[in-house]
Amino acid sequence: MPASAVPGARTVAEIMSHPVITAAAMESIAETATRMREKHVGSVVVVDGEKPVGILTERDMIRIAAGGADTSADTVSDWMTPNPDSVASDEEVTDAFASLAEHGYRHIPVVDDGVLVGLVSMRDIMKIAQIQPAEKAAAEIPEGLEGVVVADTAIGDVRGREGFYHYRQYNAVDLAEKRTLEDVWHLLFEGSLPSVKQRDAFIETVKRLREIPADVKEILPSVAALGGPEAPPLDMLRTTYSMMGVDLDFRPWLDIPAEELRGQALQTCAVVPTLLTALYRLKHGLEVVDPHPDLPYAANYLYMMLGEVPKPDYARGVEQYLISTIDHGFNASTFTARVITSTGADLASAVVGAIGALSGPLHGGAPSRALDMLDAIGTADKAEPWLRDAVERGDRLMGFGHRVYKTDDPRSVMLRGVAERLGGPKVDLAKAIEKKAIEVLAELKPGRQLYTNVEFYAGIVMDTCGVPREMFTPTFASSRVIGWSSHILEQAADNRLIRPSAHYAGPPPPEPVPEPT
């Protein structure tokens, strides 16, 4: 509907980007990819003169890379989506949103009388959605807050439809392929990757912070003795880390200098792996292994857990998993940490809340369950009937589906590669089950776009590297705490209390209060 028909409505012209970055149909993919990178855009509109004839997006680029195409020989017309849908510049923003949402597009060209005049992205529209009046927005907020933008962040983002996520300005998978965990930790905390000198200084600082404070170390055996053999190590971490917050006098961040909060955050990230592995060993009647002075983060983590210096391949496999799970947009635990931080509370409260959110099977609790599923299926020939029965019964296949990814989860693609590189007895079975599960889900849950998520191959990688199942989710926590802490620091640096509203759906008030009967 043209916006002129609705007083006060915002038009596409007000939010679109222009001029648009374009490409010609006969240009090579390599040239176009370079332009997209240089101009920091997620898509180019393919034009013939001023007329749009196609669109090429980052998602296509991922398909191109995955398909091993020759990017200097293949042309844009080989890969573009021809005749893209478009909107007019005088249309209402909500109509443009409907077009994007209905088809799952992230970008849509703006065309007036056959001439390309701009490009509108889902992100542009979401910015507007944030400033809708509260009452109107409340009525329209989707269940589970799906797709709702609640903050600005410079830490990273997830582009679910493109199967892409990033930390700061870097592709997170590239970071996991090329950098160490300490480098990425530095990137998240400081905003830039470290130079060699900065890296050395950072490693020295965080190594010193790995030690468990003496008073907390003393109480670990009592915590490990609670709850019996099935007590989850993550619950023990929640308890002991909370005690550490008291012991180290972590006060509300509103009352302390920013530098002190940053120091607490660094110490928290450094000590969490030590706490987790100590609790795990005590629970199994083993002696605690102190941090190794010469080992970097991931190798030290395995060393403290298993009591011996790990094979470099295994340390690297676990490190890649850890890097790939440090941050992931506004997931439930990160959001929890930011909500708690927004009240001015101390850092330990925010991290304890985040640990609680992560412990749920719908968030971080799935990798061991995915491996349990593999064991239950046993052999590839049993996969189809087993998976079919499970989905028909209404069960969820652990390690499949994601709130944001509606295509391959890039973490699962990377971890599949790590699993293949490491070898191990379960890789072939996992690949066969993955293929069948995607087929069964496509047939029995059509349109839901359910693919493998990070948890599926995470379990395989960790199992191969010797991490026991009960430590899968805790291992996730030991990397995600770096993401939580970065978000806590960002929230504290520019804070406003997060306090949304709910739509009341009970019996109409006010009813007279009855006398007791």
Ligand X SMILES: CC(C)(COP(=O)(O)OP(=O)(O)OC[C@H]1O[C@@H](n2cnc3c(N)ncnc32)[C@H](O)[C@@H]1OP(=O)(O)O)[C@@H](O)C(=O)NCCC(=O)NCCS
Name the residues annotated as catalytic: 402, 455
400 sits near ligand X (criterion: CB under 6 A) = yes
Cβ atoms of residues 451 and 402 within 8 Å = yes
How many residues of this chain bind ligand X (CB under 6 A)?
A: 19
362 sits near ligand X (criterion: CB under 6 A) = yes
Cβ atoms of residues 346 and 241 within 8 Å = no
In the complex, the smallest distance separating the C-beta of residue 388 from ligand X, rounded to whole angstroms, is: 11
**Of the listed pieces 11-19, 304-312, 333-341, 453-461, which binds ligand X according to CB under 6 A?**
453-461
CB closer to ligand X out of 346 and 409: 409
CB closer to ligand X out of 398 and 481: 398
In the complex, the smallest distance separating the C-beta of residue 367 from ligand X, rounded to whole angstroms, is: 8
- Tally the C-alpha atoms within 13 A of residue 507's C-alpha that lie toward its C-beta: 3
CB closer to ligand X out of 250 and 400: 400
Token pair listed for 513: 């209060």
Residue 69 dihedral angles phi and psi, to the nearest 5°: -70, 160
Q: Which of 59, 281, 283, 402 binds ligand X (CB under 6 A)?
A: 402
Angle between helices 181-190 and 196-208 (to 10 degrees): 90
The 22-23 sheet, strands edge to edge: 22-23, 43-48, 51-57, 81-82
455 sits near ligand X (criterion: CB under 6 A) = yes
366 sits near ligand X (criterion: CB under 6 A) = yes
DSSP 34-49: HHHHHHT-SEEEEEET
386 sits near ligand X (criterion: CB under 6 A) = no
In the complex, the smallest distance separating the C-beta of residue 450 from ligand X, rounded to whole angstroms, is: 5
The CB-nearest residue to ligand X is 401
In the complex, the smallest distance separating the C-beta of residue 409 from ligand X, rounded to whole angstroms, is: 8
434 sits near ligand X (criterion: CB under 6 A) = no
Q: Where are the alpha helices (DSSP H) in 382-409?
A: 383-393
407 sits near ligand X (criterion: CB under 6 A) = no
Q: Which amino acid is at 358?
A: L
309: helix, coil or strand? Answer: coil
CB closer to ligand X out of 455 and 463: 455
450 sits near ligand X (criterion: CB under 6 A) = yes
Cβ atoms of residues 367 and 426 within 8 Å = no
399 sits near ligand X (criterion: CB under 6 A) = yes
Q: Which of 123, 403, 421, 469 binds ligand X (CB under 6 A)?
A: 403
107: helix, coil or strand? Answer: strand
Q: Which of 348, 454, 462, 488 binds ligand X (CB under 6 A)?
A: 454
144 sits near ligand X (criterion: CB under 6 A) = yes
CB closer to ligand X out of 156 and 291: 156
448 sits near ligand X (criterion: CB under 6 A) = yes
* 264-283 binders of ligand X (CB under 6 A): none
Q: Which amino acid is at 239?
A: T
Closest listed residue to residue 97, CA positions, set 131, 66, 120:
120
As a whole number of angstroms, the longest Cα–Cα distance in the chain is 84
Long-range pairs, 41-46, Cβ under 8 A, ≥24: 42/106, 42/107, 42/121, 42/159, 42/162, 43/106, 43/107, 43/119, 43/121, 44/20, 44/76, 45/20, 45/21, 45/84, 45/109, 45/116, 45/119, 46/22, 46/76, 46/77, 46/80
In the complex, the smallest distance separating the C-beta of residue 396 from ligand X, rounded to whole angstroms, is: 4
96 sits near ligand X (criterion: CB under 6 A) = no
396 sits near ligand X (criterion: CB under 6 A) = yes
Alpha carbon 187 to its chain's center: 16
Q: Which amino acid is at 228?
A: G
Q: Which of 84, 233, 401, 410 binds ligand X (CB under 6 A)?
A: 401
**Of the listed pieces 167-175, 304-312, 393-401, 423-431, which binds ligand X according to CB under 6 A?**
393-401
161 sits near ligand X (criterion: CB under 6 A) = no
Helix (H), strand (E), coil (C) string for 196-253 = HHHHHHHHHHHHHCCCCCHHHHHHHHHHHHCCCCCCCHHHHHHHHHHHHHHHCCCCCH
Q: Which of 264, 325, 412, 453 binds ligand X (CB under 6 A)?
A: 453
CB closer to ligand X out of 100 and 390: 390
**Of the listed pieces 14-22, 172-180, 181-189, 440-448, which binds ligand X according to CB under 6 A?**
440-448
Binding site for ligand X (CB under 6 A): 144, 362, 366, 391, 396-403, 441, 445, 448, 450, 453-455
